[in-house]
Amino acid sequence: MKKLSANQKILAGVAIAAAVALPLVTPDFRLFQASQVLIYAIAILGLNLLTGYNGQLSVGHGAFFAVGAYSAALLMNFAGFPYWTTIPAAALICLVVGLLFGLPALKLDGHYLALATFALALAVPQLLKYKAFSKWTGGAPGISIDKPPAPFEFDIFGRAFNADVWLYLFTLGITVLLFFCAWNLVRGRIGRTLVAIRDQPMAAQAMGVNTAIYKSLIFGVSALFTGVAGALNALTVQYLAPDSFHMFLSVFLLVGMVVGGMGAVPSALFGAVVIVFLPNIAGSISKSLPGAIYGVLLILLVYFMPKGIWGALDRLRQFRLPRHRDTGSS
């Protein structure tokens, strides 16, 4: 099992401490943006477990994001669940949905799986609008949920500890927990198995790995991560509609994963920063062609960092510290 070096531990600790201290220096709406980054990072991490580590290409993870979001909203609005209980509930629901989708997905490889998941991404917004469900889902106009209040209110260094700060810290806590779980999952035997199935499925099978179980399990776990992100998204945005889970969401998650870097846990954070802020940058450059600018920026990113931002950072690190050259990247 790979362990973190002392330097890496310090780096992780500093990053978490900085994230916790962020509310002291940022206004509320920036915290909202920071929460969005963390949420998309969780979703991208989920996708990365499936696609980056296990090689199952999903172009439909927006669907699991939507399932998580609507699970949280419906449990709050119709079953009276307190907001924080909707996170484990959404996790469980999405795990089951992911497993159920993962089983038939075993029969599909490569492009075919991509198409099947893409169909899922296309179907979900339609299903949310379907009138038989609209009593719960609110149909096309969507539904609102109450903003989770801060459990206590006080001022710290002149900064009010309000609902926005609380939501951010709540999201941060869950993000740290899930990143730790993912890192634990991939750094050991399971991680090696997943990678083996991705790179040499025949050899893995020959060595006695039950590829079917691993492949469907990781589908479930991946959906769990993305579903939790969806639930958190519902809590921070407090409004859900089919338009929120358009097929583009799935594409953005995929973009985030590739740009961040595939097959590494922390890379999801970089991918999330890109998908949250790149559209804003593109929009501020040109109003007539934001899509084209976005595309050009994306091509430049991928051209100059073919292994994603994380891969580029890794190369930089190896360049600086030639003695610690290692090929691992988790």
Partner 1 sequence: MDCLKRKTALAGAVLAVALAALPATAQQGPKRYGPGASDTELKIGQTMSYSGAAASYGTFGRVMTAYFKMINEQGGINGRKISLMSVDDGFSPPKTVEMTRQLVESDNVLFICCSMGTGPNASVQKYLNDRKVPQMFVLSGATRFTDAKTAPWSMSFSPTYMDEGREAARYIIRTNPNAKIALLYQNDDSGKDTAIGFKEGLGPDRVKQIVSEQTYEATDATIDSQIRQAKAAGADAFFDNTAAKFTAQSIRIAHDIGWKALHVTTTNSSSIAQVLEPAGFDKSQGLVAGKYIKEPTDSQWDNDPRMKQWRDWMTRYYPEGQKTDWWNVYGYMVAETLAHVIRAAGNDLTRENIMKLALSLDVESPYLLPGLKIQTSPTVRSAVNKLRYYRFEGKQWVLLKE
* Interface positions with partner 1 (CB under 8 A): 27-30, 32-33, 36, 129-131, 134, 139-142, 144, 233, 237-244, 246, 248-249, 276, 279-280, 282-284, 287-288, 290-291, 294
Q: Which is nearer to partner 1, 74 or 247 (CB)?
A: 247
Q: Which is nearer to partner 1, 67 or 276 (CB)?
A: 276
To partner 1, the closest distance from the beta carbon of 89 in angstroms equals 21
Task: For tokens 């776990």, name the residue.
Answer: 221
Going through 124-163 in order, the beta strands assigned E by DSSP cover: 143-144, 155-156, 159-160
Q: Which is nearer to partner 1, 55 or 125 (CB)?
A: 125
Which DSSP string do the residues of 203-239 spell out, in sequence order?
A: HHHHTT--HHHHHHHHHHHHHHHHHHHHHHHHHHH-E
Distances (CA, A) of 305 to 32, 72, 100, 146: 28, 37, 36, 41
Q: How far apart are CA 319 and CA 330, in angstroms?
A: 18
To partner 1, the closest distance from the beta carbon of 326 in angstroms equals 39
Q: Which is nearer to partner 1, 107 or 287 (CB)?
A: 287
To partner 1, the closest distance from the beta carbon of 125 in angstroms equals 10
Q: Which is nearer to partner 1, 203 or 299 (CB)?
A: 299
To partner 1, the closest distance from the beta carbon of 123 in angstroms equals 12
DSSP state of 99: H
To partner 1, the closest distance from the beta carbon of 243 in angstroms equals 4
To partner 1, the closest distance from the beta carbon of 226 in angstroms equals 15
Q: Which is nearer to partner 1, 265 or 269 (CB)?
A: 269
SS3 string, 239-290, reads EECHHHHCHHHHHHHHHHHHHHCCCCCCHHHHHHHHHHHHHHHHHHHCCCCH
Q: List phi, psi (to 5°) of 108.
A: -110, 135
Q: How far apart are CA 54 and CA 237, in angstroms?
A: 31
Question: Which sign, positive or negative, has the C-alpha torsion 155, 159, 164, 170?
Answer: negative
